[in-house]
Amino acid sequence: MENFFRKPFKKPTEKVFGLRELGSDVLMYRVLPHFLMEIARKYFRLQVEGVENIPRRGPALIAPNHSGFSGFDALLLSHEIYKSTGRIPRVLTHQFWFLTRATAVPAEKVGFIEANMVNGLAQLKKNNLVILFPEGERGNFKPTTQRYQLQRFRTGFLRMAILRQCPIVPTLILGAEETHINLAQLKFTKYLRGLVLPLPLNIVPLPVKWKIRYLPPIHLPHKPSAADDRELLKELAQELREEMQKAITEEVSKRGSIFLGT
C-alpha cells in the first residue's frame, strides 16, 4: 500500500518529457512560451483558416494587420504558423525591444528580430518565413475606437518581396483589437523620432474569440530593379491595403458575438 501511494510522487523525476536534459534557455524561451500559447489559443477559442496558403518551403513574407498594443497577435500568429507547418517564422519587431539587453535577449530567443531592411532581407535569403506588420506601430497602437481600420502601409515589405522574389501572404487577425483596449495613441515624436505609445485600459486580456485567416499568396510580377520605384511601391501598398480592408470588413460583418459561444 505504501508503494502504491509513493509511485505517483516518483513520476516527476522520471524522464517522461526529457525536461531534465533541457537547458534553462530552452525551458524559458521555448517550452514555456509554447505552453502559454497553447493556453492562449484555448482561452481565445482560436479559429484558423487558409493554412494551405502558407508556403511549406522557401522564403515568404507573412503580412498581417496589427492591433492590441500588447504583441499578442505576433506571438500567437508565430505559434500557429509553427504548429501548422513546422516552420519557425522570424518576426520583425519594433526597435524598442532591442534598446536594452534585458528586453533584447528574450525577444531574440522567441524569434523577434529588429525590424529593418537589412534584417528582413537576411532572413529571406536564408529561406525563412518572415512576419512583418505593414502598418507598424500605427496599427498596433491605434485607439480601439478605430478597430479594424487599417492604417497606412509602409512599403519596406514590398521592397523585400521584390528584391528576394518571394510571395507575400496577406493575413487577417480578428480579436486582438478587443482583447486589449487602447484608449488613445500618445505621440512623443518631438522628443524621439518614431516614439508612439498606447494608453491602455486593461492589461489582463479579455476572453475575446480570435480568428486568423491566411489569404492566398501574392506573387509580384516585378523584377528586382523595380524595388527602388517609390511610386510603384506606394501604389502596390495602397492596393494591398484596400484588398485586406475589404476582407477584414467582410469577416467583421459575420462575426456574431465576440465573447459568447465556441
* pLDDT greater at residue 13 or residue 153: 153
72-85 helix and 32-43 helix, angle to the nearest 10 degrees = 100
Residues 237-247: tens digit of each pLDDT: 999 999 999 99
User: pLDDT tier at 202 (50, 70, 90 boundaries)?
Assistant: confident
- Predicted local distance difference test score (pLDDT) of residue 229: 97
Helix, strand or coil for residue 58? coil
- Predicted local distance difference test score (pLDDT) of residue 102: 65
pLDDT higher than 90, residue 70? no
- Predicted local distance difference test score (pLDDT) of residue 69: 75
**Are residues 62 and 130 in contact, defined by beta-carbon separation less than 8 angstroms?**
yes
pLDDT higher than 80, residue 86? yes
Helix, strand or coil for residue 254? coil
DSSP 100-161: SHHHHHHHHHTTEEE-SHHHHHHHHHTT-EEE--TTTHHHHTS-GGGTT-PPPPPSHHHHHH
Q: Kindly report the number of other CB atoms within 10 A of residue 6's CB atom.
A: 9
User: pLDDT tier at 95 (50, 70, 90 boundaries)?
Assistant: low
Query: Among the listed ranges 20-34, 110-124, 176-190, 222-236, which one has the minimum average pLDDT value?
Result: 20-34
- Predicted local distance difference test score (pLDDT) of residue 194: 59
- Predicted local distance difference test score (pLDDT) of residue 6: 44
pLDDT higher than 60, residue 153? yes
> Ranked by mean pLDDT, which of 75-79, 95-99, 101-105, 126-130 comes out on top?
126-130
Residues 99-119: tens digit of each pLDDT: 666 666 666 666 788 889 999
Q: For residues 6-19, give the mean pLDDT.
A: 43
- Predicted local distance difference test score (pLDDT) of residue 139: 77
Percent of the chain's residues with pLDDT above 90 = 55
**Topology of domain 22-253, CATH:** Glycerol-3-phosphate (1)-acyltransferase (3.40.1130)
pLDDT higher than 90, residue 182? no
- Predicted local distance difference test score (pLDDT) of residue 54: 98
Q: How far apart are CA 192 and CA 187, in angstroms?
A: 9
Q: For residues 7-19, give the mean pLDDT.
A: 43
